[in-house]
Amino acid sequence: MKGSTLVVFPRFDLEEFMNAIPQYRPAVFGGAPQMFVPMVAHPLFQETDLSAIKLVVSGAAPISPVLLAKLKSRISGIICEAYGLTEATSVAMISPPTRDGLRLGSVGLPVQDTEIRIVDAENDKIVLTAGEIGEICIRGPQIMAGYWKRPAETADVLKDGWLLTGDIGRVDEDGYLFIVDRKKDMLLCKGHNVYPRDLEEVLNAHTDVMQKAVVGKKDERYGEAPVAFVQLRPGAKATEAELLTYANENMALYKKIRRLVILGQFPVNAAGKVLRRELRDQVQALDFVV
């Protein structure tokens, strides 16, 4: 429909991808931050001619300020974040298409003919106001008709034309959406709601951290104890104890991470998105006193 050329790879190979940029001179590319992290750390990122790139779209996970700065330092085009899900035919929100249109931490504004609202995470009848945190709901022409032959599951997520996404977020006064976390990823620790993304952002500020993910370990006393998995940048020397101390010095007492594990490689899917379910399985098998 667009008359564009689409270059498709069977899997993500970093060197193959970087070498293809001067060969095909693409105007647009996109992916998850987990794909961009090793890219900016690779020598080819500094050596490759990136002048043809007009737009980079990041999705599937939040982009960090450090990663954004590194991308902007080499790419003169627009870098933006987008948000969507399969039930909404991929895209529902995107940052305005200008160099300064990205509002850090936000996935942007609704696309054409799309509405968004935030409802109470426990009672979707209660619509929240700007700044309040709750479940993200979307309405528009791109919303699915339902899950194939799954009426009960469809009824759970489609209500009065609104799609309950299962994502937690907030909308600011200007209508920009900020993702807080997945509803199912939220931890209940000693009666408090703990959002893994808050903890991950603290870890992300450490210069030795390349990737990070926080999941919950089931515990009778705590409910779900936060456990962090970290992948270090090439050549980094930080220890698990050092990173744990650093993180816990910079967060509220009830959010403190109870265990930190350094991994050589994160489990990811074909799109480079971290497979949290595998990390959850790993953390339940860890033997330690919370």
Tens-place pLDDT, residues 18-71: 999 999 999 998 888 878 888 998 999 999 999 999 999 988 777 778 888 899
- Say if residues 93 and 119 touch (Cβ distance below 8 Å): no
Q: Which domains does the chain have, with CATH numbers?
A: 14-109 (3.40.50.980), 112-183 (2.30.38.10), 186-285 (3.30.300.30)
Give every CB contact of residue 86 below 8 A, 6+ residues apart in sequence.
144
Which pLDDT value is given to residue 190?
Answer: 73
Nearest CA-CA partner of 204 in 53, 49, 67, 46? 67
Mean pLDDT along residues 175-182: 88
- The answer on pLDDT for 122 being more than 90 is no
Q: How far, in Å, CA of 6 to CA of 82, rounded? A: 19
pLDDT more than 70, % of the chain = 98
Q: What is the pLDDT of residues 135-172, one digit of tens each?
A: 999 999 999 999 999 999 999 999 999 999 999 999 99
pTM: 0.71
Distance separating the N- and C-terminal Cα atoms of the chain: 55
- The answer on pLDDT for 270 being more than 80 is no
Count of CB atoms within 10 A of residue 263's CB?
15
